[in-house]
Amino acid sequence: MKRILSGYRPTGMIHLGNYFGSLVNWIRLQSEYDCYFEVADYHALTTYYQHTDELPDYKVEMARDWLAAGLSHEKATIFIQSLVPEHAELHVLLSMLVPVPWLERNPTVKEMIRDMNLQDNITYGLLGYPVLQAADILIYKAECVPVGQDQLPHVELAREIAKRFNHLYGKTFPVPEPMLSQHPKVPGIDGRKMSKSLQNAIFIRDTYKDIKRKVYQAFTDPKKIRLGDPGHPEGCVVFAYHNLVNKDEIDQIEADCKSGKLGCVECKKRCAHAIYEFLIPVRENLQNFTPERTKEILVEGSKRARKIAQATLEEVKEKMHLK
């Protein structure tokens, strides 16, 4: 069975973009692959190093969201990155092999710096985090990495690092292959990519009141001003949400929008209700995973993960004549 590695930074609760962009795919893959899913708390420090007081709760609550959505600790290994310190040591060793221009030209890093206005605060950790991500993948000798289109440069870097290490020190790592998610990129309520840092996200734990408020603020077709005006749903954020959570009515909604029969206010009202109803099973399942139980799951998963990581690091140090 091929091995997979993926994860998220614990910088807040899970939103619809995380759910449809990754979690739905992870839940499917956990029955088909040997899956390792990490709570990437080292990675969180690249941009949230000044707010570490929130990190302990975020790690547990994000994992609770994963479990409530359907990720199984019996099928997959779910762990906390910092509880497997071999990640950090392999990161140091791999960083010796990586030319700085490889990092400076990474488009995903450039996009993060732009979106989070970090131009004057680019830390060493932020510039080098793709190497840490490569260490995350290679420490488990993962053969596949499920990613969205925007994360492909990171997998490509991991591939190049694996090839360089194998060339210098002998065959050690499989060269990981990207597994592109088939799920669409979920827009935030402002039309940009949904992101906690951009404050444009709908979270899976949001109340109906919160969901309704956010959906009513969402970007819609600027040419559709009043009831009767023909709409263009292909460019509408609200229609994109309908397409995710309201499949049974999507064709009729599209037709009524284009004809002008369906106004934006009514469309948003129905969308907010559909999102809330869709997420009810996830919110109810949260009760089955208390913070205490979730911590136990994470500790046990980290112990399992560390056994693999320790063996890989020992092999790496022997190949590099550090043993």
- Number of Cβ within 10 Å of residue 151's Cβ equals 20
Q: Is 121 exposed, middle or buried (0-12, 13-18, 19+ CB in 10 A)?
A: exposed
In this predicted model, what pLDDT tens digit does every residue of 185-230 receive, in sequence order? 799 999 998 988 889 999 999 999 999 999 999 988 787 777 877 8
Name which residue leads in pLDDT, 184 or 167: 167
pLDDT band at 180 (very low <50, low <70, confident <90, very high): confident
For tokens 């990190």, the residue is 55
Q: Is 135 helix (H, G, I), strand (E, B) or coil?
A: helix
- Please list the helix, strand and coil fractions of the chain in percent, rounded to the nearest 5, in that order: 60, 10, 30
CA–CA separation, 189 and 203 (whole Å): 12
pLDDT for 173 beyond 70:
yes
In this predicted model, what pLDDT tens digit does every residue of 111-128 receive, in sequence order? 666 666 666 667 787 788
pLDDT for 108 beyond 70:
no
Tokens matching residue 260? 């002008």
pLDDT for 241 beyond 70:
yes
For the chain, the average pLDDT equals 91
**Do residues 177 and 145 make contact, with C-beta atoms less than 8 angstroms apart?**
yes
**Do residues 81 and 5 make contact, with C-beta atoms less than 8 angstroms apart?**
no
Task: Set out the domains of the chain in order of their start, with CATH numbers.
Answer: 3-185+291-319 (3.40.50.620), 208-284 (1.10.240.10)
List CB contacts of 252: < 8 A, sequence separation 6 or more.
none
